[in-house]
Chain A
Amino acid sequence: MLLEAKQLWKTYGSGEARVHALQGVSLAVAQGDFVALVGPSGSGKSSLLHLIGAMDTPTRGAVTLAGEDLGRLRGSQLTALRLRKVGFVFQTFNLMPTLTALENVALPVQLAGAGTRQARERARELLTQVGLADRAGHLPAQLSGGQKQRVAIARALANDPALILADEPTGALDTANGEAIMALLEELNRHGRTIMMVTHNEDLASRAGRVLRMRDGRLAEAG
Chain B
Amino acid sequence: MMALALKNLWNRKTRSLLTILGIAVAIQLYVVMSGIMDSFDDDLQKQVAGMAGRLVVQQKSDAGTRFPPLDSVIEATVAEAVLTLEGVDTARSSPVLLQVVVPPPAINLPPVVMAAGVVPGREFAFTGNTALQAQLKGEHDAILGAAAAGYYGAKAGDTISVQDESFVVVAVLPETNMVTDGVLLLPLPTAQRLFLRHSLVSAVMLTATSADGAKPLAAAIESAHPKLLAATADDVARSANELLAIQRKFFAAVNSTALAVAAVVVMIVMVMAIFERKKEIGTLKAIGASTGRILCLIMTESLTLSVVGGLVALPASTVINGLILGEYHIDLSKWLQTLAVAVLLGVIASLWPAWAAQRVHPLESLTYE
Interface locus among A82-90, A178-186, A205-213:
A82-90
Q: Tell me, in angstroms, the Cα distance from A83 to B7 when the chains sit together.
A: 23
CB contact between A98 and one of B8, B291, B365 (< 8 Å): that residue: B8
Contact flag A55-B287 (CB < 8 Å), given A98-B10, A98-B11: no
Is B286 a contact partner of A98 (Cβ separation < 8 A)?
no
Please indicate the chain A residues that have their CB under 8 angstroms from the CB of B10 in the complex.
98
A76→B7 contact, CB < 8 A = no
In the complex, the answer to whether B7 meets A79 with C-beta atoms within 8 Å is no
Chain B residues with CB below 8 A from A33, complex form: none
**A111 CB contact (under 8 Å) in B287, B363, B365:** B287
Say yes or no: A50 contacts B7, CB within 8 Å. Answer: no
Interfacial residues of chain B within 279-296, with CB under 8 A of chain A in the complex: 279-280, 283-291, 293
Partner of A88, one of B280, B287, B289, B293: B287
| Interface bits B345-369 vs A (CB < 8 Å: 1, else 0) | 0000000000000000011011010
Min C-beta distance of B34 to chain A, whole Å: 37
Partner of B293, one of A53, A90, A99, A111: A111
CB distance from A39 to the nearest CB of B (A): 17
Contacts A94-B283, A99-B4 given; indicate if A56 touches B289 (C-beta within 8 A): no
- A155 on the B face (CB < 8 A): yes
Complex CA gap A98/B352 in Å reads 24
Q: Are B288 and A55 in contact (CB under 8 A)?
A: no
Contact, CB under 8 Å: A108 / B280 = no
| Residues on A with beta carbons closer than 8 Å to the beta carbon of B280 | 94, 96-97
Instruction: Give every chain A residue within 8 A of B368 (Cβ-Cβ).
Output: 91-92
Closest beta carbon of chain A to B128's beta carbon, Å: 65
Residues of B within 8 A of A56 (CB): 363
At the interface, yes or no: A80 with Cβ under 8 Å from chain B?
Answer: yes
In the bound complex, what is the Cα–Cα distance between A47 and B10 (angstroms)? 36
In the assembled complex, the Cα of A24 lies from the Cα of B11 at a distance in Å of 46
In angstroms, how far is the closest chain A Cβ from the Cβ of B142?
69
Q: Check B288–A112 contact: CB distance below 8 A.
A: yes
A98, B7: Cβ atoms closer than 8 Å: yes
Taking the nearest CB of chain B, how far is it from the CB of A77, in angstroms?
Answer: 10
Pairwise interchain contact B289-A111, C-beta atoms closer than 8 A? yes
Check if B285 sits within 8 Å of A94, measured CB to CB: no
Residue of A nearest to B283 (CB): A94
Asked whether, in the complex, the Cβ of B4 is within 8 Å of the Cβ of A83, the reply is no
Report yes or no: A98 in contact with B287, Cβ–Cβ below 8 A. Answer: no
Q: Are A79 and B290 in contact (CB under 8 A)?
A: yes
Of B287, B363, B365, B368, the most chain A CB neighbours within 10 A belong to B287
- Nearest-neighbour CB distance to chain A for B154, whole angstroms, equals 63
- Contact residues of A between 57 and 113, Cβ < 8 Å to B: 75-76, 79-80, 82-84, 86, 88, 90-92, 94, 96-99, 103, 107-108, 110-112
CB distance from B267 to the nearest CB of A (A): 22
Interface check A149, CB cutoff 8 A? no
| Contact-residue bracket for chain B | 20 to 34
**What is the bound-complex CA distance between A122 and B283, given in angstroms?**
20
Query: How far is A111 from B3 in the complex, measured between Cα atoms in Å?
Result: 13
CA distance A111 to B292 in the complex (A): 11
- Tell me the nearest residue of chain A to B10, going by C-beta: A98
- Chain B residues near A112 (CB-CB < 8 A): 288
Contact B288 A80 (CB under 8 A): yes
CB 8 Å contact bits of B4-20 with A (1 = contact, 0 = none): 10011011000000000
Specify which chain A residues have a CB less than 8 angstroms from the CB of B291 in the assembled complex. Answer: 75-76, 79
| A46 at the binding interface (Cβ < 8 Å) | yes
Question: Do B287 and A155 touch across chains, with their CB atoms under 8 A apart?
Answer: yes
Given A55-B363, A76-B290, A92-B368: A97 touches B11 (CB 8 Å cut-off): yes
> A82 to B287, Cβ gap below 8 A?
yes
* Closest CB in chain A relative to B132 CB, distance in Å: 68
What residues on A are CB-neighbors of B293 within 8 Å?
111
Partner of A79, one of B279, B289, B365: B289
The distance in angstroms between the C-alpha atoms of A84 and B291, with both chains bound, is: 16
Tell me which residues across on chain A come within 8 A of B279, comparing CB atoms.
94
Residue pair A88, B286 in contact (C-beta under 8 Å)? yes
Instruction: Say which residue of B7, B288, B363 sits within 8 Å of A108 (CB atoms).
Output: B288
Taken together as a complex, chains A and B put the C-alpha atoms of A98 and B11 apart, in Å, by 7
Assuming A90-B283, A98-B7, is B290 touching A167 (CB within 8 A)?
A: no
Are A167's CB and B4's CB within 8 A?
A: no
Chain B's nearest CB lies how many Å from the CB of A50? 6
Closest residue of chain A to B8, judged by CB? A98
CA distance A53 to B286 in the complex (A): 9
Q: Which chain B positions have C-beta within 8 A of A90?
A: 283, 286, 365-366
CA distance in complex: A99, B283 (Å):
14
- Offer 20 A-B interface pairs, CB within 8 angstroms, sorted by A: A50-B363, A50-B366, A55-B286, A55-B363, A56-B363, A82-B286, A90-B286, A94-B279, A94-B365, A96-B280, A96-B284, A97-B11, A99-B4, A99-B7, A108-B288, A111-B288, A111-B290, A111-B293, A112-B288, A159-B288
Q: A97-B280, A167-B366 are in contact. List 16 more A-B contacts (CB 8 A).
A: A55-B286, A76-B291, A79-B285, A79-B291, A82-B288, A82-B362, A90-B283, A90-B365, A94-B286, A98-B4, A99-B4, A107-B287, A108-B287, A111-B287, A111-B288, A112-B288
Chain B residues engaging chain A, CB cutoff 8 angstroms: 1, 3-4, 7-8, 10-11, 279-280, 283-291, 293, 362-363, 365-366, 368
> Footprint of B on A, CB under 8 Å?
46, 50, 53, 55-56, 75-76, 79-80, 82-84, 86, 88, 90-92, 94, 96-99, 103, 107-108, 110-112, 155, 159, 167
